[in-house]
Structure 1
Amino acid sequence: MTKQIEPAVFIPAAILAIGGVAAVLMAGDQAEIVFTAARDFITDTAGWVYSVGIGMFLIAALVVALSDWGRIKLGPDDSVPEFSFMAWFAMLFSAGMGIGLMFFAVAEPITHYLSPPGAAPETQAAAQQSMVLTFFHWGIHAWAVYVIVGLSLAYFAFRHGLPLTIRSALYPLIGDRIYGPIGHLVDVIAILGTLFGVATSLGYGVTQINAGLNAVFGLEISAPVQVTLIAIITLMATTSVLAGLDKGIRRLSQINLYLAIGLLAFVLIMGPTLFLIGAYVQNIGHYVDQLATLTFNVDAYGDGEWISAWTLFYWGWWISWSPFVGMFIARISRGRTIREFIIGALFGPTLFTFLWMTVYGNSALLEVMGNAASPILEAVRGGQSELALFALLDTLPLASVTSVIAIVLITTFFVTSSDSGSLVKSTLAAGGALTPPIWQRLFWALLEGVVAAVLLIGGGLAALQSATIAAALPFTLVIGLAFIGLVRAWSMETARKAGQQSAAQMPVEGVAVPWKVRLRLMFSRPAPAEVESWINATAEPAFRELIPEMEKLGHTATIESEDGRLSLRVAHGDDPDFIYGVALKAYEANSDAEIERTQTDDNSYARAEVFLREGGQHYDVFGYSKNQLIRDMLRHYEHHLQWLHHMQHVG
């Protein structure tokens, strides 16, 4: 049964969210002063922690992807990805950086061009440096943080059955205490960080939508208009929530991707195409060339002002967003290998982001370098960065059409960010349920819109942004500890395989079924009803016969039954339990494709396939006698004991 609510998480998170907004509004400008001072103190005294942490997360992700650990699946060994690669990539892209790309693709390169840290302003050198810095802030480092957090959650949730919550990443460090106050606190903090982080971005998004509507239709730029837009778009987000993950977020994410590619292609084709293609290649080259230097640059020989205002700001922002994005990409990545997860999440969105930033950023740079009176420069200089994208589109044909498409794209990014954020928060508040109740998702979607609107009116967005960045410091340490736990868990998996290879092989053959009969069974195609009857008549008695013998040896053994699946679980105290079971799997007679049991017909057949704790073993034991099945189970149990022996030495 799906858990509806985790009271120790939901109630404090809801109270603190509402109370936090009220406190920020009542404190007014004082809240921003306090939070900004805290942020500045942290970045001045411990800013190097962000830089070292981000750099180590990236190195760790790449090393793991290239290691043998990369073959491990985020789920049982026989699991398959829930979503196609294109759908998966679209959701990665939409959740990670959607609104930000629309807002900063033009504004950030122009800002660096006007005030570069290591070049003369408004020169060719400043233009080149502005793109490298933009790539640096929006590139592979951000996704390295998301990957480490997402790996921790997906691995322990899908492979070891822990809740899909932030607390599960700490399991190797505190064990079952994740289910107590410490775990509740971690999840509450994650909910609040997600709520205020997404609300802040939604505030930026709606200001850009308002700017676009002003540019196209002359709609007034004002707080009442923006609050109305938030209300409308929040209602759209609730509709997406009701549609569910597959029909809601997945479809909207794919729409986002198609619209983004279409708008990108238009600017690329109608703009300076050959220049942009060359700039993309050169920007990547400069980025790779300066990657190590930029990663570990903490401005030790300078005043650190620019690093704090830009690089450390971004590092803190990505870290503060990592519970949200990491948990979401974990949720959509069940069944993929660790290598596929890392490579796909690191390089797929990053390369697309680089292309996006090049097409928009270099187009804008080319425009302003040849026109000192460009409206793009006026918008950025005047502190109206939300107008920069539309000022660029206005230099190209069909500006009204492309501006409308841009507004639609920002809106759909808004909706998917709100929807995916609601999914994450409701999953946390429901104790890690993969399908949290609709009412919870609606609650968080509506609260997100209310928070964004209230803070937009009260001017609290900057205060909360500063607070979120300051809070990212302790979470950097949490991510590091979670990765240490991951390494320990993967080492135990390696030990498990070593145990399986070194354990003695017990013979399965017996006298109950002659070998000729067994040979015929290997080529048989039994009906699902026959396999189900065999499970009830042979497998279950075999398991029951083992229970008292296990108890004599001091281990509690229990039988677990689920539709078409029967398993024996042997408890080993603090060590992982041993699980051996048989599952009825039905197949089409002509294609050997697995089908639902409810879809069987006269041409289908079934197998009794063995599964263990780590997943399906892909071999059939239908027709085994009771003794043969016990012997097969003992063979795997001996592997398990050998693994526990290895694990003690590894741990």
Structure 2
Amino acid sequence: MSDSTDGDAIPAPEGPANLIETDYEIGQNNVQLLGLDIHNPVFAVSGLSVVAFVIITMAFQNTIGPVFTGMRDFLTSTFDWFFLLAGNIFVLVCLGLIVSPLGKVRIGGRDATPDYGYAGWFAMLFAAGMGIGLMFYGVSEPISHYSTSFGGVTLENGVRTDWAPLGGAEGDAAASHALGMAATIFHWGLHPWAIYAIVALSLALFAYNKGLPLTVRSIFYPIFGERIWGWPGHVIDILAVFATLFGLATSLGVGAQQANAGLNYLFGVPIGTTSQIVLIALITGAALFSVLRGLDGGVKLLSEVNLVLAAVLVLFILFAGPTMTLFGDLVDNVGAYASELIPLSNPFGREDANFSQGWTAFYWAWWISWSPFVGMFIARVSRGRTVREFITCVLLIPTAVSIVWMTVLGGAALDQLIVEGFTGAQDAALELKLFEMLTQMPLTFIASLLSIVLVIVFFVTSSDSGSLVIDTITAGGKVDAPVAQRVFWATFEGLVAAALLIGGGLGALQAMAVSTGFPFAIVLLLACYALIKGLMDEPR
């Protein structure tokens, strides 16, 4: 396979473009060593730090778990207001760009045309964006919010007894159901996709319209100028690598836990760290194969397969479950999300610490840590779109799909709990809730097997997409870095996920996502200013 599967360089903008004049050239600071195309010092610092992290975590696996948990709890409890405020800013910037004259700017220049059709483009951005998380939390989060969020309420016969939901009367199960679904959609709707859209649009603009390398530092040219080629730029890219790597490791660890739970449920495979590490190793191997095939031959193909399998699962649950109830819930949930969006996103004066710190602050940090990976991946496949078209598709369409997904999976589980009195999904561990819900439906074995396959394919698409992105950052913006370099990063994504599972399980995974998401949130707030300034210089 040629090293240039994904293109020989950043494509030149088509038509008039506001190119930045700079002496910097992609690869001028790169060093060839052992088959690796190293952008010094980004690759060296990032690579050595990751190797050291894996070694230390494995060496102190019996004592490092509480350290990870303490990091997560401190950041989410101290800076929950900051994460919520930052998320709100990203949404407002995106919505403002949709309605402003800046929305007419075309990525790649006025005459640029899209590289991919809508179907392939949407499949890639959605599969990369939050696939494993949707599988893991699709049932567990609505159940958790209904049962225990917003102050630790209790249930009697499926009805809240000690807390009045926003906009609902005390003990009103319907209002509790609506708020639980609104809170779930809040975490998977406009806010996370706004985070992705800011990074993706910024990268695409400065690469395809300004002629700068496709790397995170390029976004900050309006702020730092030529200094982005020095240490300010190195620090930004290194932070992007850390955020991407640990955000991905969180998802890979979560995916391994759910795949292990499903295989135990169907085939009796033992649940434990050993089984999960074996799964990580096997699926990382599959991701390596996809990485070697490149963007079109690997990532795009798997993303489209993923989308089809996800649609099959949702349609099965929709028609095998309480169909008419779920159709009604869809309308109700959209209304609940709209009515509760402002109270849920309020960053100040909150009393529901379990929700704002344990859920929202973690989620926002996780999405932010994913943003360099998802943003760069979306940028690479989005040339030719206008800003308005880009943000509308990246922000609104995935939000609509997330609403449908959470309504079907979460609504089916809540119907089993509230109407049928089935508590299996409520009582099960997080990674088993989906499979417990499927026990109450026909074709349980087939549906559960499909779910496991979907988790694994999501796992592979996240890993291969992420390794291609980290590879690009550490090569200084080159999109045709050597195969050995892609293999290095894909391998270490798996190793970091395995080390975190051994060193503290889900708490350790969450801790590193939050720890890298916090500093990168500051970077993204600066990126909003740079993006608007860059767009204002473009012909419309």
Same fold (TM over 0.5): yes
8 Å CA contact retained: 2:248, 2:463:
yes
Q: 2:426 aligns with which of 377, 384, 389?
A: 377
- Residue 126 of structure 1 corresponds to 176
Asked whether 1:66 is paired with 2:66, we answer no
> Residue 386 of structure 2 aligns with which residue?
337
1:361 to 404, 410, 416: 410
TM-superposition CA deviations, 1:257-301 (whole Å, max 9, x none): 000001111111111111101101110011011212221243x15
Deviation at 1:218, TM superposition (A): 1.9
Structure 1 Cα separation of the partners of residues 469 and 120 of structure 2: 18
Q: How far does residue 343 in structure 1 lie from its aligned partner after superposition?
A: 0.3
1:230 aligned residue: 280
Alignment CA distance shift 1:305-1:456 (3 Å)? closer
1:400 matched to 2:440? The reply is no
- Render the CA deviation track for 1:316-368: whole Å, top value 9, x for unaligned: 22112211111111111112111111000001111111101100101000001
State the alpha-carbon separation in 2 of the partners of residues 460 and 22 from structure 1: 17
Q: How far apart are the structure 1 equivalents of 2:68 and 2:302? A: 35
Q: Which has the higher contact order (CA 8 A, sep 6+)?
A: 2
Partner in structure 2 of residue 477 of structure 1: 522
Displacement, 1:461?
Answer: 5.1
Q: Does 1:191 align with 2:224?
A: no
Instruction: Give matches, 1:546-561, under 5 Å.
Output: none
Q: Normalised by the size of structure 2, how large is the TM-score?
A: 0.87
In the aligned structure 1, how far is the partner of 2:38 from the partner of 2:347? 45
Kept in 1: contact 2:85–2:347 (CA 8 A): no
Give the counterpart letter for 1:256 in structure 2: N
- Contact in 2 for aligned 1:423/1:436 (Cα 8 Å): no
Pairing 1:39-438 to 2, within 5 Å after superposition: 39-117=72-150, 121=155, 122-123=158-159, 124=173, 125-298=175-348, 300=349, 302=351, 304-379=353-428, 384-438=429-483
Q: Report 1:528-607 matches (<5 A).
A: none
2 CA distance for matches of 1:232 and 1:301? 44
Deviations 1:126-167 (A, max 9, x none): 222211110111111100111111111110011111111111
| Structure 2 gap ranges (5+) | 1-7, 10-26, 28-36, 160-172
- How many angstroms apart in 1 are the aligned matches of 2:143 and 2:463? 29
Structure 1 gap ranges (5+): 498-651
Number of paired residues?
Answer: 490
Query: What stretches of structure 1 move > 4 A for 4+ residues in a row?
Result: none
Checking the alignment, whether the CA contact within 8 Å between 2:299 and 2:465 is kept in structure 1 is yes
Is the 2:94–2:197 Cα contact (8 Å) retained in structure 1? yes
- Counterpart in the other structure of 1:37: 70
Deviation (angstroms), 1:222: 2.5
Q: Does structure 1 conserve the Cα–Cα contact (< 8 Å) formed by 2:497 and 2:509?
A: no
Q: What is the SS of the residue equivalent to 2:106?
A: coil
| Deviation digits for residues 436-482 of structure 1 (CA, Å, limit 9, x no counterpart) | 32221121111212222233233365235224313423322221211
| Matched AA of 1:390 | F
Aligned to 1:9: 42
After superposition, where does 1:436-451 map in structure 2 within 5 Å? Answer: 436-451=481-496
Contact 2:249 2:509 in 1 (8 A): no
Q: Give 1:426 deviation, angstroms.
A: 0.4
Q: Aligned equivalents of 1:26 and 1:14: distance in 2?
A: 18
For residue 187 of structure 1, report the CA deviation from its aligned partner.
1.1
Tell me by how many angstroms 1:374 deviates. 2.8
Give the superposition deviation at 1:30: 4.8
Between the aligned residues of both structures, percent identity stands at 46
Letter in 1 for 2:322: P
Distance in 2 (CA, whole Å) between partners of 1:236 and 1:377 is 33
Q: Secondary structure at the match of 1:5?
A: strand
- CA distance in 2 between partners of 1:132 and 1:232 (Å): 37
3-state SS, counterpart of residue 382 of structure 2: coil
- How far apart in 2 are the matches of 1:423 and 1:5? 14
| 1:302 Cα deviation from its structure 2 partner | 2.6
Q: What letter is aligned with 1:131?
A: M
Query: Once the 2 structures are TM-superposed, how far is the Cα of residue 120 of structure 1 from its aligned partner?
Result: 5.8
Contact 1:202/1:452 (<8 A) preserved? yes
Could you state the TM-score of these two structures normalised by the residue count of structure 1?
0.72
Amino acid at match of 1:311: T
Residues 370 and 313 of structure 1, relative CA distance in 2, 3 Å threshold: same
Whether contact under 8 Å (2:246, 2:516) holds in the other structure is no
Distance 1:393 1:305 in 2: 28
Of structures 1 and 2, the larger Rg is shown by 1
Q: Look up the equivalent residue of 1:249 and give its one-letter code.
A: V
The residue number in structure 2 matching 1:580 is: none
| Equivalent in the alignment of 2:163 | none
CA change 1:263–1:43 in 2 (3 A) is: closer
1:453 aligns to 2:502 (yes or no): no
1:73–1:335 CA contact under 8 A, matched in 2: yes
Give SS of 1:310's match.
helix
Q: In 2 relative to 1, CA 401–325 (structure 1 residues): closer, same or farther, beyond 3 Å?
A: same
Report the counterpart of residue 560 of structure 1 in structure 2: none
Residues in 1 aligned to 2:98 and 2:244: alpha-carbon distance in whole angstroms: 27
The one-letter amino acid of 1:424's match is V
